[in-house]
Structure 1
Amino acid sequence: MTPKHIMLGTAAALTLTVPACEKTSSDEREAATAPAPAAAALPEITVTEAELRDNPFRREWTADFGVPPFNDIRDTHYLPAVKKGILEQRAEIAAIVDNPDAPTFENTIVALDQTGASLDKVMKTFGNITNTDTNDTLSALESEIYPMLTRESDAISFNPALFERVQAVYAKRDRLGLDEQDARLLELTHRSFVRQGAALSPEAKAEVAAINAALSSLTTEFGKNLLLATKSFQIEVTDEADLAGLSDDFKKAIKVEGEDKWILTVDRSVYETFMTEGENRDLRKQMFDGYRLRASSGAHDNGPILIRIAQLRAKRAELMGYPSHAAYQLAPRMAKTPEQAEAFLVRVLEPALARAKEERADMQALIGDDFQLEGQDWWFYADKVRQAKYAFDGNALKPYFEIGAVRQGVFDVASHLFNISFTPVATDTWNPQVQSWDVKDNATGAHLGLFMADMYSRGSKRGGAWMSSFRNASDVDENIRPIVVNNLNITPPAKGEPTLLSYDEVETVFHEFGHGLHGLLTQVKYSTFSGVDGPKDYTEFPSQLLEHWADDPEVLAKYAKHYKTGEVIPLELVDKMNAAAAFNQGFKTTEYIAASLLDLRWHSLSSEEAAKITDARAFEKQVLDDYGIPPEIEPRYRSQYFSHIFSGGYSAGYYGYLWAEILDADGFAAFKETGDIYNPELAGKLKKWIYEAGGMREADELYRNFRGSDPTIEPLLRNRGFVDDKPSEG
């Protein structure tokens, strides 16, 4: 296989709890692997042949599609395989540095891209399994393995002789006659070294190395605390009357088998359903506090941890020559600066707050004088107002969204757009719930990749939804195709019952599959920038774009059929759904922007400012007050459980989902303007410049090549119901 070596971030990226995709570009890597100073000798690592005997990571994987032999892998196999992989990569780096020949593109840049194959092999599997089927042993291994990788990663980044060779090749880049992909690999390799501190003084490198080591431990601890806090919260209900308002299907799903007992958790799908449908206000309050106060006190308190993370990131940015971590992170992104990202968010926040105030007034009118609306009431009464205004009950949609039909629907959209096929195949899997498909190009018959889906929640799986990979694509010595997986957390139905999705869950299926296509269709030679690559405010574009097909009437008619009768979803119900689509957008937009602004403010602190923060909740409250966020609207993520930014790859980047919505709204508008949502010419450009291109060019250039122009914000505002539905004049 052809890996992306550690320095460019693959192994480190596997620690990230990113909701959409796990792979990160070199510029996005949280230093989740930590270094030693350049001049310091790396600690000795030993592993014996006996420890490696019969280790599945040390043999060639011969199963179809290169799937890992999950049934043979034991927890005890990971650490010896990691140690051996580290030793092999050390030898590969030494061979590049000690090469007596003058530095060339092949013997330095390509050779560097090819290092770490055996380490990448084990870490891809380890990172995926610890996110989907973890246990105490694997959790302990994370704390041991990731600091080791940090040290190795920074040792590569801070190796002066290696950087000297990279610099030598980069200095003569215009005379090498490189093709576009070769030139891009050279550019990104050099950029990665510089951004990770290769040009710093030895003293600064040592300080950055120490910070990276500390961050590796802290971000891992943050994620563990959140997982434990989330899983430890349960409400046991013994009186069915307390579940008034909930559907029979939902009650069956949360019922303890053989007992008159129901368990409520703060897993997102359970939480949202209960907060929307549950009539018991006291119980809603318990759920609301259980969700928003996770990891904010006691043994799993993330407050002190996140403050320290923010302080260390600010200090590291200062050492790198930037005023803040946000300034460092955004330099290579589309937004360029924290100020531009903030200005964009505030522009959208203004109409969102105005709409949220209208929504609040509607709900208070429904409540009357009985009590004042509070945070635990918003979901419930918003749904009541929606039903009153639009005679629309979201639960009426569920019978038309059976999980298998929805999956086939998204497959059909991809087939129409990109002329590809999906054939179910039997493969080894890490859990019996996982399914697999062989993805092929219909025009050539070529295998494009293996797609796997792990759709249901379980106690050993982290929350949220995300895409990840067991193998990246590359085409250096041989054509290696990717193994891509979508992970969701849908509540398993009662035994014998179908899995019926809410429309929000349908959108999530389409969203994550958009990431999956970005990984599967890639036609990039080097794994360094193949597949899901690019700045954080761009990588959500290919996923969010696909969501637009989910509710198009033409598409719904194909896949939204009643699971019992086969009846196509009635046009009247579709019209009601579309009419209600902009409903509650004030709340949804405000809660998202509130979290995005929290992220930016935490990471826009200077080193001096960060050092003064002692109370995470007080800082958070001040930020929300500064922007006028109403107290009854909680940010989508409070700081103590904001895993995207404190144990994931979205630090100073959570705004990127909304920024990418500029692109996806404008991009889908291009199809609508042609009158054909499958317009072949436009679909061809979308495939070539977005889904196949990875990080081959800068993100704004890739978008222009697809769309023919820069995007405008008006389609985003129209989609959210914040402006009149009329053509843009700009």
Structure 2
Amino acid sequence: MTLKSILMGGAAALALVVSACSPPDGEAGSATTEATLEADTPAAAGAEAATAEPGALQEISVSDAELEGNPFLEEWETPYGVPPFAEIEDEHYLPAVKKGILEARAGIEAITSNADAPTFENTIVALDQNAELATKVLLVFGNITGTDTNDRLRELEGIIYPMVTREQDAIVFNNDLWQRVKTVYEARDTLGLDEQDARLLELTHRQFTRAGADLPQDVKDQIADINSQISSLTTKFGQNLLRSTKAFRIEVTDEADLAGLSQDFKDAIRMDGDEDKWLLTVDRSVYETFMTQSENRDLRKKMFDGYRLRASEGEFDNGPIAIEIAQLRAKRAELMGYPNHAAYVLETNMAKTPEGAEEFLLRVWRPGLAQAKAERAEMQALIGDEFTFAGHDWWHYSEKVRQNKYAFDDNALKPYFELGAVQKGAFDVSSKLFNIEITPVDVEGWNEVVNAFEVTDAETGDFLGLFMSDMYARDSKRGGAWMSSFRTASNVNGQDIRPIVANNMNLIQPPEGQPTLMRFDEVTTLFHEFGHGLHGLLTQIRYQNFSGVDGPRDYTEFPAQILEHWASAPEVLEDYAKHYQTGETIPLELIERMNEAANHNQGFATTEYIAASLLDLNWHMLSYDEAMAIEDARAFEKSVLDKYGLIEEIEPRYRSNYFSHIFAGGYSAGYYAYLWSEILDADGFEAFREAGDIFDPELAAKLKRWVYESGGLREADELYRNFRGSDPTIEPLLRNRGFDVTEQGDG
């Protein structure tokens, strides 16, 4: 439980585990990677968590009997030090967390009771290295509850996360600790610190001040109480969404109802043991494929409503929860001296202000919405007078238009994108760019489908980290795609600890013996998540506080998004896109058609994404009084979207009731970050194209040094300039989306 994890909601399980998430079409959010006050870790009200006053130490005890045989208290003599997953039982977590918290308290007490004057080593480094056991447990707990949850683990979330959130507040509001941090910070110019030391001190001080350490005690108490409430509500939101999503099922017994679906998709959704039953769910991979392929308009409407109305009624209704979270965040911002939650969050982001983020979004919204309206007209023309085009028709008829215009069928690509070959393609690109080797190794994972790979420096042979991948959907796993960590990197006092990084996706698992064939958007998601993985694996930062995936939210997507560009580069496709049966390289003509069609439907994709981003900003630009006036989440959402002119045939990518990125994760007031990071990745990849070699060694070395290795060493804009040599411009982003750079309007 490093300072970073403490201040990011107190849960290393979220702050460090779910450290980077999927592209914006993914299903779930993640914790912030820049330490903030945001105490929005998954949690639910737990009896053991509510025994202390806000900001005070809780009464926590654990007996030797409770800890007997607990694998978290042992040294893990496993390959690469991976957790012994088969030995860890659900009942091991809570006693180990309690023990870890008690050890963390002892560490804080040792710092504050030290009779020696505060120094960088005895205060700042000691704090960075504190709570080894708590971090160890929470990293595993956070990963497993995301990938293989059950009723008992959900119950434990409701106990553990509020407990850890309260511990966060007790630590950050510990005045003795804060005074020692301030003393060291005020003497910073006399300490002779190197760059990493100075950055650790700077961030530690910033994290305390932004958490409210210097506020009056009565205000701290109010903030601590709000943190506790938010911690409970965010877990309830996430659990409601998971249960609502998994509860939606359509069993199809007449194969005629599956008209238009490809055979491999029908095989994948066939119910086990029954040749004449197929199961439709609103898991993203199933939903998108069905909505694109299905000729059954009535069934498309049922699926469309099932997806967009999740968690919007009955026992799983997230509307009131979203309102309450927004109100609490607004109140907390007011107590901190900010006009709204968005102003607080964006202060340390590249966008700086909510107005700056909104202005940026609108520059892309205008051409995107105009293009979406043209796309709607084109699809209505294809339909004719048979019926009026509606939202549940968009995916299906967009694909028809694409096939008509470009003679291009996405299904024609799938045989060339087999999972193993695609993953090897991402590995090969990374090896060429960054001079690393990625080798399969036999390591037992948390699920039988997990694969593991050793990552080493190709020149020195030095071990860089262990990479593990979990690619398939299952009922126990949350939706979307994300990168996480089981162990973070550090190198203090001669202890060189390298990371264990994981990538998760939710691909449809094919029947036994059949290959996993991927849509191209799933291919780019795999490259994206491995970009996050590289950000964690290649780090050369010695302090956990800012090693690996670090920086403001509107920067941390950049290392992931730039790697996506290599996925579609013809010279890369020729290497990894091989027909799974014949071994034939993907034909150049098919690549050309794919690239010609790349900007097809970009108006829709841009509009639905920015609509969600604007919705996020508007929820979090509310003052406390404005937030308290909100009575109905859907009515508020509609007023926002009408204000910007969203057409009725397009839903925002996330409606409020299932917007887990912002109400159960770390993207509140920050969902715009994917598009902001796209400025960076479009401009950054253009540098490689300008050099005439997408593997240009000089540029690749700068990208490796200043982006993937540097974590949060410097401010994000400086790191980017060190790589690129200049600030980014928006024009490459607009061109990549097929928009006229002269029509985005004045910013």
Shorter-chain TM-score bucket reads: over 0.9
Q: Within 1, Cα distance between the matches of 2:354 and 2:31?
A: 23
Do residues 136 (structure 1) and 151 (structure 2) align?
yes
- Counterpart of 2:166 in structure 1 is 151
Do residues 698 (structure 1) and 715 (structure 2) align?
yes
Deviation of the 1:25 alpha carbon: 2.0
2:12–2:139: 8 Å Cα contact kept in structure 1?
no
**Residue of structure 1 aligned with 2:626, choices 609, 612, 616:** 609
**Residue of structure 1 aligned with 2:365, choices 334, 349, 354:** 349
Q: Deviations over 1:121-174 (max 9, x none)?
A: 000000000000000000000000000000000100101111000000000111
1:38–1:202: 8 Å Cα contact kept in structure 2?
no
Deviation of the 1:283 alpha carbon: 0.2
Q: Within 2, Cα distance between the matches of 1:617 and 1:474?
A: 45
- Counterpart of 1:14 in structure 2 is 13
Do residues 95 (structure 1) and 95 (structure 2) align?
no
SS of the aligned residue for 1:494 comes to: coil
Which stretch has the larger CA shift, 252-261 or 484-493? 252-261
Q: Please give the TM-score of this superposition, normalised by the length of structure 2.
A: 0.95
- Counterpart of 2:351 in structure 1 is 335
Aligned pairs for 1:566-715 within 5 A: 566-715=583-732
- Counterpart of 2:289 in structure 1 is 273
1:334–1:537: 8 Å Cα contact kept in structure 2?
yes
Structure 1 unaligned runs (5+)? Answer: none
Do residues 25 (structure 1) and 42 (structure 2) align?
no
Cα distance change, pair 295–131 in 1 and its aligned pair in 2 (3 A): same
Deviation of the 1:10 alpha carbon: 7.7
Deviation of the 1:41 alpha carbon: 4.4
Q: Within 2, Cα distance between the matches of 1:475 and 1:683?
A: 25
The letter of the residue matching 1:604 is M
**Residue of structure 2 aligned with 1:284, choices 293, 300, 315:** 300
Percent identity, please. Answer: 67
SS of the aligned residue for 1:14 comes to: helix
- Counterpart of 1:523 in structure 2 is 540
Deviation of the 1:372 alpha carbon: 1.0
- Counterpart of 1:69 in structure 2 is 84
1:226–1:300: 8 Å Cα contact kept in structure 2?
yes
The letter of the residue matching 1:194 is T
2:5–2:12: 8 Å Cα contact kept in structure 1?
no
SS of the aligned residue for 2:21 comes to: coil
The letter of the residue matching 2:686 is A
Q: Deviations over 1:689-710 (max 9, x none)?
A: 0000000000000000000000
1:11–1:120: 8 Å Cα contact kept in structure 2?
no
2:40–2:664: 8 Å Cα contact kept in structure 1?
no
- Counterpart of 2:26 in structure 1 is none
The letter of the residue matching 1:136 is D
- Counterpart of 1:555 in structure 2 is 572
- Counterpart of 2:190 in structure 1 is 175
Aligned pairs for 1:489-500 within 5 A: 489-500=506-517
Which stretch has the larger CA shift, 23-32 or 95-104? 23-32
SS of the aligned residue for 1:162 comes to: helix
Deviation of the 1:723 alpha carbon: 2.1
- Counterpart of 1:414 in structure 2 is 430
Cα distance change, pair 575–41 in 1 and its aligned pair in 2 (3 A): closer
Q: Deviations over 1:487-532 (max 9, x none)?
A: 0000001221100000000000000000000000000010110000
2:54–2:225: 8 Å Cα contact kept in structure 1?
no
SS of the aligned residue for 2:251 comes to: strand
CA RMSD, aligned part only?
Answer: 1.7
Structure 2 unaligned runs (5+)? Answer: 23-29, 44-48
Q: Within 1, Cα distance between the matches of 2:388 and 2:11?
A: 47
Deviation of the 1:428 alpha carbon: 2.0
Q: Within 2, Cα distance between the matches of 1:582 and 1:213?
A: 45
SS of the aligned residue for 2:443 comes to: coil
1:341–1:655: 8 Å Cα contact kept in structure 2?
yes
**Residue of structure 1 aligned with 2:443, choices 427, 431, 441:** 427
Cα distance change, pair 464–31 in 1 and its aligned pair in 2 (3 A): closer
- Counterpart of 2:499 in structure 1 is 482
Q: Within 1, Cα distance between the matches of 2:180 and 2:382?
A: 70
**Residue of structure 2 aligned with 1:208, choices 223, 243, 254:** 223
Cα distance change, pair 455–40 in 1 and its aligned pair in 2 (3 A): closer
Deviation of the 1:617 alpha carbon: 0.2
Aligned pairs for 1:332-481 within 5 A: 332-477=348-493, 478-481=495-498
- Counterpart of 2:72 in structure 1 is 57
Cα distance change, pair 5–629 in 1 and its aligned pair in 2 (3 A): closer
- Counterpart of 2:330 in structure 1 is 314
Equivalent residue pairs, number? 726
Cα distance change, pair 285–306 in 1 and its aligned pair in 2 (3 A): same
The letter of the residue matching 1:608 is D
**Residue of structure 1 aligned with 2:205, choices 190, 197, 204:** 190
Deviation of the 1:27 alpha carbon: 2.6
1:35–1:154: 8 Å Cα contact kept in structure 2?
no
1:537–1:655: 8 Å Cα contact kept in structure 2?
yes
Cα distance change, pair 10–407 in 1 and its aligned pair in 2 (3 A): farther
1:10–1:120: 8 Å Cα contact kept in structure 2?
no
Q: Within 1, Cα distance between the matches of 2:297 and 2:56?
A: 61
SS of the aligned residue for 1:27 comes to: coil
1:485–1:516: 8 Å Cα contact kept in structure 2?
yes
Q: Deviations over 1:533-574 (max 9, x none)?
A: 000000000000000000100000000010000100001100
Q: Deviations over 1:614-638 (max 9, x none)?
A: 1000000000000000011000000
Q: Within 2, Cα distance between the matches of 1:582 and 1:725?
A: 18
SS of the aligned residue for 2:474 comes to: coil
**Residue of structure 2 aligned with 1:546, choices 563, 587, 592:** 563
Q: Within 1, Cα distance between the matches of 2:51 and 2:334?
A: 19
SS of the aligned residue for 2:185 comes to: helix
Aligned pairs for 1:293-308 within 5 A: 293-308=309-324
SS of the aligned residue for 1:458 comes to: coil
Deviation of the 1:445 alpha carbon: 0.2
Q: Deviations over 1:326-347 (max 9, x none)?
A: 0000000000000000000001
The letter of the residue matching 1:9 is M
- Counterpart of 1:231 in structure 2 is 246
SS of the aligned residue for 1:712 comes to: coil
Q: Deviations over 1:372-409 (max 9, x none)?
A: 11110000000000000001000000000000000000
Deviation of the 1:61 alpha carbon: 1.1
2:10–2:165: 8 Å Cα contact kept in structure 1?
no
Q: Within 2, Cα distance between the matches of 1:29 and 1:161?
A: 23
- Counterpart of 1:42 in structure 2 is 57
Deviation of the 1:38 alpha carbon: 9.0
- Counterpart of 1:506 in structure 2 is 523
Cα distance change, pair 31–380 in 1 and its aligned pair in 2 (3 A): closer
The letter of the residue matching 2:297 is R
2:570–2:591: 8 Å Cα contact kept in structure 1?
yes
SS of the aligned residue for 2:381 comes to: helix
Q: Within 1, Cα distance between the matches of 2:32 and 2:135?
A: 12
1:70–1:430: 8 Å Cα contact kept in structure 2?
yes
Q: Within 2, Cα distance between the matches of 1:369 and 1:143?
A: 54
Q: Within 1, Cα distance between the matches of 2:109 and 2:605?
A: 52
1:3–1:472: 8 Å Cα contact kept in structure 2?
no
Deviation of the 1:371 alpha carbon: 1.1
Q: Within 1, Cα distance between the matches of 2:709 and 2:218?
A: 42
Deviation of the 1:64 alpha carbon: 1.8
Do residues 241 (structure 1) and 256 (structure 2) align?
yes
Q: Please give the TM-score of this superposition, normalised by the length of structure 1.
A: 0.98
The letter of the residue matching 2:523 is V
SS of the aligned residue for 2:36 comes to: helix
